[in-house]
Amino acid sequence: MVEFTSVTEARQAKRHLNGADIYTGCCTLKVDFARPTKLTVTKNDKDSWDFEITAQSGWDTGVSNPSTTSASLLGRYDGNTYHVDPSNANDSVQNRSLMCPSQFSGMVTTARSHTSVAMIYNMNTDSMNCDKLFNLVCLYGNVLRIKFLRSNEGTAMVQMGDPMAVDDLIDNLSGAVILGKQILIRPSKQTELLEVSQPYNLPDGSPSFKDYSHCRNNRYSTSALASKNRKFRPSQALHYWNCPPNFELSQMQSIFRDAGAPIPA
């Protein structure tokens, strides 16, 4: 049991940690609210710790330097410990397998964006549609809805699963050249996209609005799926998998040729 300084902090911790894997594919956390509203800690040891009282009164914890112990997150424990290599610490914190993809929460760190909706500008209106845009942005988070704007040509609104996914879109895709045009991505002032009952048709005849909230192609809908994803900026190399046995280079080239895409080198 952990007592936070406020209910808001406890809710935020639950939202980010419930269902998260401590290690990829195992040690899944289940986090819920407790009935007690206050925790009583009588002593600081390996089983319990009061950080506020330790810092204020300097309890005798059996440690020669109390000030050093109170500054530590977990204090001192003389039993067996598991050491994390500092060189890998940053990677561990940023690993999305620690998050709860079922809640679309993103990383534990606070998102810069305060909305789950992204504005994407300057797209190629002749070639881009909802499905193609989904294929692009689903690499960085779950996609709920996509809406192209009739009043602003080449602009679409995308509702992601959480604000951190919007941050990832901005960090990885904003400024990239997609279908011959350099796109720009910014957070939207809106917090959600509403259902469009009568979408207009895009140049290719497809609808200007689509709902992907139940789409099986979302890549972060389970912890197992989320742990397989790696987020990078667009590059000259593509990663693919699940090809049938004895898949030939000529077959791969044919797929790109039939789609009107550049043939891989």
The pTM assigned to this predicted structure is 0.57
CB neighbour list of residue 104: distance below 8 Å, 6 or more residues apart:
116, 141, 142, 160, 161, 162, 165, 220
For residue range 88-131, list pLDDT tens digits in order: 433 333 343 333 333 333 444 455 778 999 999 999 999 999 99
Instruction: Measure the CA–CA gap between 181 and 177, rounded to whole angstroms.
Output: 5
Q: Which string of DSSP letters, residue by residue, matches 42-101?
A: ---SSS---HHHHHHH----S-S-HHHHHTSSS----S------HHHHHHHHH-GGGS-G
pLDDT digits (tens, 9 = 90+) for 180-189: 999 999 999 9
Confidence of residue 87 (pLDDT cuts 50, 70, 90): very low
Sequence ranges of the domains in the chain: 7-103, 117-235
The residues with which 224 forms a beta bridge, in sequence order, are none
CA distance 193 to 216: 20
Spatial CA neighbour of 217 closest among 155, 128, 137, 120:
137
**pLDDT recorded at residue 110:** 53
Q: What is the CATH architecture assignment of 117-235?
A: 2-Layer Sandwich (3.30)
Give the model confidence (pLDDT) of 4-13 as tens digits.
Answer: 988 888 888 8
